[in-house]
Structure 1
Amino acid sequence: MSGRVLVVDDSSVIRQLIRVNLELEGFEVVTAVDGAECLDVVHRVRPDVVTLDAVMPRLDGVRTAERLRADPRTRHLPLALVSACTELEGGGVVDGERGVDAFLGKPFEPVDLVRMVRCLMHGRSGGESGGSGGAADAFGVVSEVVEP
């Protein structure tokens, strides 16, 4: 296994699309339907990376990221926002201290999703780290990856 990814999206189609593409690359995938469910399962699942949709019922992706960052147990967990809301990309949401580490716009190419997840996983586990922006250059769709 390459690692465990928690995929959080209210669309069953998107959850399945992300799941299939990541599983084909050897990742173990666990899903949640919104941020509230994510917060309920994250400690039990212990993912290596979390992908969050921005717009979800009950608790959206940005607020979920804020809560994950506020919890000492999940503060350093790599988070990616996967969203069609491109205005979030430049709005200060990509900030590893308070927000997410990466942004991937919908629609996306599966290869870009896999590269983003791998980059976040390896960047956080002591693997190669290209510094801020280095990961973005690697696959061109993430606005920024913030290294700790």
Structure 2
Amino acid sequence: MTDMTDLDPGAAYHALLGLTLVHWEDGFARLACEAGDAHRNRSGIIHGGLILSMIDQAAGYAGLWCSVPGHVRKAVTLDLDCRFTGQVKGGRLIAEGRVAQRGRNIFFVRTEVFDAAGQMVAFGASTHRWRAGSETHEGQPPGA
């Protein structure tokens, strides 16, 4: 298990959205975001793109846990779907991704997003492919 406060510093998109990786272990990742004015759409609710990004990122991290400190695993998203079950005006959002199944090169994840009150506001399923060298839990050395 790894508890972290920041996602990959090389991923500027995470910083732009304000995502934080709060729990990470093999097959599971929990991300948080303090959603506020910058995340709202013209209707005054949190933009669905933020929630969809949280689903994608939590799912990816769930399949990318690495057992060797300093090594990394990489993947690409092949397919992603989302169902919105509620609206959010702001506050803390939590996305939890769980690997449902793994193959040699592909992994499948189910992800749920919750508002500050613990109500599910969205859920999704996604398919990801490990990039070459990332298929095992040992991952790749830095810079590989």
Q: TM-score, normalised by structure 1?
A: 0.27
Higher strand share: 2
Higher helix share: 1
Q: Whose relative contact order is higher, 1 or 2, with alpha carbons under 8 Å and at least 6 apart?
A: 2
Structure with the greater alpha carbon radius of gyration: 2
Q: TM-score, normalised by structure 2?
A: 0.28
